[in-house]
Amino acid sequence: MKAHLSGFTLVELVMVLVLLGVLSAIGSSLFSRPDSFSALSARDQLQAMVLLAQQRALANVSASPVILTVEQTSDEWLFNLSQGAVLFKERQAPRHNAALSLNGSAFTNGQSSSFTFASDTSVGSTHQFIFTSENTHPLCLAASGFAYPATCQP
C-alpha cells in the first residue's frame, strides 16, 4: 500500500505569496502617508466624543450642561468633553497637514467651537464638519445631537 501525501502545490504557494505582496503594498500606503489617515481618524474620534456626550447628557443627574469643545492647534485637534466645571474626557487627534472646516468655514490654529448638549441630547442646530487630507471625510452633527459620517441632509 502506498501512503497518500498531501501538501500545497507550487502554484498555490506562488499565488499566496503574490496575494500577500499585494495586500502589504496596499496596507503600507496608509503608514507611509499619515496625513491620508489622520483626517479619517480625527473624524472617528469626534464621532465617538459626540456619542459619549449624548450618553452623559441622557444620564445627567445634575443640572450641569454637557459641553463638547473642538479646538485646532498647529499639529493636532483637541476634543474636550466637560460637564459643568469638570473636564470629563479629553482626546487628541494628530493633524499631519489635514484641515477641518465647520459649516463651510475653515478652522484656523487656536480656533475652537463648543456644542452644548441638552438633557434630550439636542444641540440646537445642525453642524457640518469636514476633515480633509487627500480625501474628504464629512461628519454631520444633527440638531438632535446624533452624529453620522456623511454630509448633512437639508
**pLDDT tens digit sequence for 6-24:** 888 888 889 999 999 888 8
Beta carbons within 10 angstroms of residue 6's beta carbon: 4
Inter-CA distances, 68 with 54, 115, 144, Å: 10, 5, 15
The pLDDT averaged over each successive group of 10 residues in the chain (154 residues) is 76 90 77 72 94 89 86 94 88 90 93 93 94 92 94 88
pTM for the complete prediction?
A: 0.77
95-99: Cβ within 8 A, 24+ apart? 95/38, 95/42, 96/34, 96/35, 96/37, 96/38, 96/133, 97/35, 97/133, 98/35, 98/38, 98/39, 98/42, 98/131, 98/132, 98/133, 99/39, 99/131, 99/132, 99/133
Residue 49: partners with Cβ closer than 8 Å, 6 or more residues away = 68, 79, 81, 89, 91
Q: Hey, which CATH number is domain 34-148, 3.30.70.1280, 3.40.50.2300, 1.25.40.10, 3.55.40.10?
A: 3.55.40.10
